[in-house]
Amino acid sequence: MTTPILGHLRKMQVTLTNPVGYTLKLLNGDSEHAVAMNPLIGHPLHLRHTGLINCIACGRKTSKSFQQGYCFPCMRALPECDRCIVQPEQCHFAQGTCRDEAWAQQFCMQLHYVYLANSSGIKVGITRGTQIPTRWIDQGATQALPIFKVATRLQSGELEVILKQHVSDKTHWQKMLKGAAEEVDMPACRDQLLALCHTEIEALMARNPGDIQPLSDDGGVDINFPVSLYPEKIKSFNFDKTPDIKGLLQGIKGQYLIFDDGVINVRKFAGYQVELRAL
């Protein structure tokens, strides 16, 4: 790819292959460029931010991006930007204060899964069924195991609150990018965690009869990422401070491009117009 490609970034699309397959999406008006990234590993790559940022929801030009791609008005107005997206136990639909009830019916009132993942260590998380295994790949997890299936996002959040008393609910991204997590016995971790939380989980299930289903070992996955060399130290690139990024692409993990002298979170800069060139 010697001819540069210009477009607005979106988070990389992923496929669960061995290793994970990555496609970088660049939008330019009504056209879309889909760049297969795995073949570029081991080659020099140049990403240049032009200075233009457009909101991924409404398309308006913005001088600053919020919550991975939104302009300020959309960040304040859209339900997908509300606090309860990251704290689902505070569901606004249940409180009668949802920004868009039709959106909530489509995205929150559907099957969700509570899972354990091994990214920078064991963590608990939640995701819609339609986002398995994408969610795990985006977090850089090398192992994942769904442990509950629930009827709504609120219920998944309530379960997560119980479980995160004993296990982290966050990925330490710097540690995740330094190498593959040490392999663990995921079913054993699940069983130990559920034993610790048995009373609280039983009470939640009693309040939501039939809506919360514990899962067996089926559905667990191992994930291998296309990384030829992990960095010893993590230096994070930021298009707002460094519009030109050049280097040898050494791998991809989560939503990060790993260069020989730094990493960049592609998802963080959704809506940024960039020029991509393989050198």
Q: State yes or no: pLDDT of 1 exceeds 80.
A: no
- Residue 133: asked if its preceding bond is cis (omega within 30°), the reply is yes
User: Which amino acid is it at 23?
Assistant: T
What would the pLDDT profile of 200-230 be if each residue is shown by its tens digit?
A: 999 999 999 999 999 988 789 999 999 999 9
Q: Where does the chain have alpha helices with state H?
A: 72-77, 92-95, 101-107, 134-138, 153-163, 173-176, 186-196, 198-207
CA distances from 175 to 10, 99, 228, 247 (A): 24, 36, 17, 21
Going 191 to 193 to 195 to 197, the CA torsion angle's sign is negative
The gap between the terminal CA atoms of the chain, to the nearest Å, is: 8
**Given this model, what pLDDT does residue 95 score?**
83
Going 131 to 105 to 124 to 201, the CA torsion angle's sign is negative
Cα–Cα distance measured from residue 247 to residue 142, given in angstroms and rounded to the nearest whole number? 26
Residue whose tokens read 């219920």: 155
Query: Considering only CA atoms, which of 172, 191, 182, 148 is closest in space to residue 254?
Result: 172
Phi, psi of 183, rounded to the nearest 5 degrees: -65, 140
Q: How confident is the model at residue 6 (pLDDT cuts 50, 70, 90)?
A: very high
**Given this model, what pLDDT does residue 217 score?**
81
Q: State yes or no: pLDDT of 241 exceeds 90.
A: yes
Cα torsion through 68, 73, 79, 81, rounded to 10: 30
Q: How confident is the model at residue 250 (pLDDT cuts 50, 70, 90)?
A: very high
Q: State yes or no: pLDDT of 111 exceeds 90.
A: yes
Residue 131 tokens, joined: 């986002």
* Long-range contacts, stretch 237-244, CB < 8 angstroms, 24+ apart: 237/262, 237/263, 237/264, 238/264, 239/49, 239/264, 239/269, 239/272, 239/274, 243/48, 243/49, 243/50, 243/51, 244/46, 244/47, 244/48, 244/49
**Given this model, what pLDDT does residue 92 score?**
83
Query: Considering only CA atoms, which of 271, 270, 248 is closest in space to residue 261?
Result: 248
**Given this model, what pLDDT does residue 29 score?**
83
pLDDT average, residue stretch 4-25 = 97
Q: How confident is the model at residue 2 (pLDDT cuts 50, 70, 90)?
A: low
Q: State yes or no: pLDDT of 96 exceeds 90.
A: no
* Spacing of C-alpha 192 from chain mean position: 26
Cα–Cα distance measured from residue 275 to residue 26, given in angstroms and rounded to the nearest whole number? 9
pLDDT average, residue stretch 161-167 = 97
Percent of the chain exceeding pLDDT 90 equals 85
Residue 278 tokens, joined: 């393989």
